[in-house]
Amino acid sequence: MQRIGCKELDRSKRSLYLLLFTLTLALAVIGYRATTSINDVGEDGIVLTGDTAEKSGFAMGTYYKLQLTGEHSRKAVAACIAELERLDALLDRFDPRSEVSKLNARAGQGWVEVSPDIISILETTLDVAIKSRGAYDPSIAALVDLWGFREQRGKIPDHAPPSPQQIQQVLRENVGYQKVQMDAVNNRVSLAAGIVLDFGSAAKGYALDRLTALAKSFEVEHGLIDLGGNIGVIGVRQDGKPWNIAVRHPRELGEVFGVIPVKDQYLATSGDYQRYFTWDGRRYPHIIDPHTGYPTTDYASVTIVAPTGILSDVLSTALFVLGPERGADLLTHYPGVEALYIDQNMQVTITPGLKDVVQLVQ
């Protein structure tokens, strides 16, 4: 066998090997770039990967995540965040500088001019209040506060429930959507004395409508916006498949109970694990039946799929109070809205339009 040493290679062979080596290196680099994402994190914290822009943060009392794809995705995400911050400042009733707080402070003083955002939210919330015969009520704030469900999330320190007398008094004096007047033509609202508005069950859904519309105006074709479990999707995923949204297990936190495929839709969940306290071995969740004044405890969670964000948010709260039978009556007014109820025994009820679509994991 004859060994060929380096010295014995002639010049042309050496250049051929050099060329092959360079080519292999170039291919390796191209392959590497193709299989790993090239992330470009801007000063604004927006991460750009290809033409998908992403950003996570905290607003409206919850964590949010935006993931938008399109030629102008970075600009779209920046615009969406500015809008989210504007709405947060406008609708936070725990911030005395917000427009909602100023409106609440002027209850009993006649008409108050408000922004079109508040008119839009009231249009939907008052409509659901009327059609649900008061099971949903945007003027529930005083009762929410009486029960001690102010801003906290998750498990609230245990405390005794309010007395029946306190509950009745607040129901009589401070709650009642019939005491909210709205003049959509002149952008004015009038609250009777004692009334306090609470958009805690509507603001995130409304924000999703605004943000998805804004993203579309930047020609975003695929997108997912998650505002603390209130989700809005634009189109389908980039691979042409629907977005698969997980429904959380109400008791095994962190586990998935089911998956719902959606496209160009909105999804919201109201759950008794999201904010609650326990007393005497009973769980008191943050959604209250305005007819009794007590938290409603039949359902562990209700998930809604809807054609608008505000409807998904508002109806998840309304149907949490109503349950599947009375909920079905309410849904006749809202075409395209579907619901998944999970009761305390983890038994599910699914509306017909969603039945064949949901994949239950448990």
Task: Point out which residues bind Mg ion (CB under 5 A).
Answer: 201, 270, 313, 316-317
Looking at residues 172 to 211 of the shown chain, list those that interact with ligand AMP (rule: CB under 6 A). 198, 200-201
The candidate with the shortest Cα–Cα distance to 49, out of 252, 315, 238, is 238
> Can you tell me which of 304, 321, 322, 348 binds ligand AMP, judged by CB under 6 A?
321
What φ, ψ does residue 78 adopt, rounded to 5°? -60, -45
CB 231 → ligand AMP: shortest distance, Å?
A: 13
108 is written with which tokens?
Answer: 């009993």
Q: Is 137 in the site for ligand AMP (CB under 6 A)?
A: yes
CB 209 within 8 A of CB 62: no
Looking at residues 219 to 278 of the shown chain, list those that interact with ligand AMP (rule: CB under 6 A). 270, 274
C-beta of 68 vs 322, nearer to ligand AMP? 322
* Nearby residues of 80 by Cβ (< 8 Å), 6 or more positions away: 66, 68, 211, 214, 215, 225
The candidate with the shortest Cα–Cα distance to 123, out of 200, 194, 202, is 202
Cα gap 187→329, rounded to integer Å: 31
Stretch that binds ligand AMP, among 106-114, 161-169, 315-323, 353-361 (CB under 6 A): 315-323
Q: Is 316 in the site for ligand AMP (CB under 6 A)?
A: yes
C-beta of 190 vs 201, nearer to Mg ion? 201
* Nearby residues of 332 by Cβ (< 8 Å), 6 or more positions away: none
Helical packing angle, 116-131 and 309-331, nearest 10° = 20
Cα gap 21→293, rounded to integer Å: 77
Instruction: Tell me the C-alpha to C-alpha distance, in Å, between residue 334 and each of 75, 229, 276, 338, 356.
Output: 34, 22, 29, 9, 20
Report what 315 binds from ligand AMP, Mg ion, none; CB cut-off 5-8 Å by kind: none
Report what 210 binds from ligand AMP, Mg ion, none; CB cut-off 5-8 Å by kind: none
3-state helix, strand, coil in the chain (%, to 5): 35, 25, 35
Q: Is 286 in the site for ligand AMP (CB under 6 A)?
A: yes
3-state secondary structure of 95: coil
Q: Is 144 in the site for ligand AMP (CB under 6 A)?
A: yes
CB 179 → ligand AMP: shortest distance, Å?
A: 15
Instruction: Provide the mask over 46-85, with x wherever binding to ligand AMP is found by CB under 6 A and - wherever it is not.
Output: ----------------------------------------
C-beta of 93 vs 249, nearer to ligand AMP? 93
Size, binding site for ligand AMP by CB under 6 A: 19
Q: Which residues of the chain form contacts with ligand AMP (CB under 6 A)?
A: 136-138, 140, 144, 149, 198, 200-201, 270, 274, 286-288, 290, 313, 316-317, 321
